[in-house]
Structure 1
Amino acid sequence: MDVGDVLDRTIPYIGADAGVSHLLKYKLHPTLAIGDFDSLCDLEILDDLKIKKYPSRKDQTDTQLALEYAINKGYDEIDIYGVTGGRIDHFFSIMCLLEQYKDLDIRVIDATNIISILKPGHHELMVHSKYFSLFALDECKVSLSHCEYPLSSYQLRRDDPLCVSNESDEKVHIDNDAYLYFIQSERRN
């Protein structure tokens, strides 16, 4: 599956750097192109777009600039596409941004994964992929039911991979007393 297959064509998009060319490839016209555009091969594609250009030497990544722009515009649900492949340092910076903005409804989506953060509380979630995994941002008490590997008041540490590759074909029940990464994946590896 290609990321273009999961793009919602009814919502506005902000293109960060080379993300602009990907949006245009999928026939999506970004409401804004933002970044330093150092990864963009063809700068002419910017000609008919509203752009916010930044210098290459800056203190934010292009994705961070796009995310902060969306937040400042009042978007309350933000999906970030096309940031899980390529350089691992850039992907790690995306995970840092998810943690930094953990109280907002932000998802990272690619062709096989959806990454989000669960706030503390009780959740009944339909898993839209074959597998789901949980990782603690900080130590967290977790209970899971209606899944292949249930847990009862398990103390999940940040460095504990126990909750990787669980499965459910119904609404999974999750109780957590701290923030969790919630990752849905189509393939096991």
Structure 2
Amino acid sequence: MKIGICGALAEELDFSLDYIGVDRGIEILINLGIKPIYAIGDFDSIINKDLLVQLEIERLPTKKDVTDTHAAIEYAISKGYDEIDVYGVTGGRLDHFFSAMCLLEKYQNVKIRIINKQNVIELLKPGKHKIDQGSYKYFSLFALDNSYIDIEHAHYPLDNYYLKREDPLCVSNQTIDEYSYIRNNRAIILVRSNDL
């Protein structure tokens, strides 16, 4: 099952999904005509608090050990969702963006994607992956732990390359034809992107 989570500054929502609204994302969803199936947060950034009356909500304390987005992901997982698209966590505070990136690694058994107008970020578990270029011009890879990788059908192919955490070699590659193939022996981050 797949669900979307909307935080602040969401730009490119998939209107076919159900959504969990996170704090300011609740207003964004409602203004776009999407009623979230659940609303979660400390609601410190909501301007029109009357919107909460019509929703199933979970009010979090202001002082807590998780971000509102983290709590929303945990809620989605508890309800059986195994694919989660997260919107609105890349355009504001960088600490919240890095926190969301940490959750990709924490919840490796769930397909979590962080999405904005130009990018889709996701974790690739060890294995062989077929990467669909789709509407994205570039793809980049980053190691969470040092990993051996192969890249096929790309402008910059690699064969059994040892990608270290601090190595930025795999930035801005491009697929040849429609697909590239990536093989990795440890989890890595895939970023698909476009220029503005």
Question: TM-score under structure 2 normalisation?
Answer: 0.91
2:74 maps to 1:88: no
Farther off after superposition, 79-88 or 35-44: 35-44
Kindly report which structure 2 residues correspond to 1:51-130, keeping only aligned pairs within 5 A, or say none.
51-128=57-134, 129-130=136-137
Partner SS state of residue 56, structure 1: coil
Partner SS state of residue 92, structure 1: helix
Partners of 2:61 and 2:72 lie apart in 1 by: 14
Note the C-alpha offset of 1:9.
2.1
Name the residue aligned to 2:6: none
5+ residue gaps, structure 1, are none
Name the residue aligned to 1:172: 180
Partner SS state of residue 47, structure 1: helix
Name the residue aligned to 2:191: 183
Selected match of 2:50 from 44, 65, 68: 44
Note the C-alpha offset of 1:41.
1.8
Farther off after superposition, 162-171 or 177-186: 162-171
AA paired with 1:154?
A: Y
Question: Residues 68-114 of structure 1, C-alpha deviation per residue, up to 9 Å, x if partnerless?
Answer: 00000000111101111111111010001111112211111111100
**Do 2:104 and 2:112's aligned partners in 1 also have CA atoms closer than 8 Å?**
yes
Partner SS state of residue 153, structure 1: strand
Note the C-alpha offset of 1:3.
4.9
Partner SS state of residue 33, structure 2: coil
What RMSD over aligned residues (CA atoms) do the two structures have, in Å? 1.4
Partners of 2:76 and 2:113 lie apart in 1 by: 13
Question: TM-score under structure 1 normalisation?
Answer: 0.94
Partner SS state of residue 59, structure 1: coil
Aligned residues: 186
Question: Residues 126-160 of structure 1, C-alpha deviation per residue, up to 9 Å, x if partnerless?
Answer: 12200100001100001101011111100001111
5+ residue gaps, structure 2, are 1-8
Partners of 1:25 and 1:94 lie apart in 2 by: 24
Partner SS state of residue 158, structure 1: coil
Partners of 1:111 and 1:101 lie apart in 2 by: 24
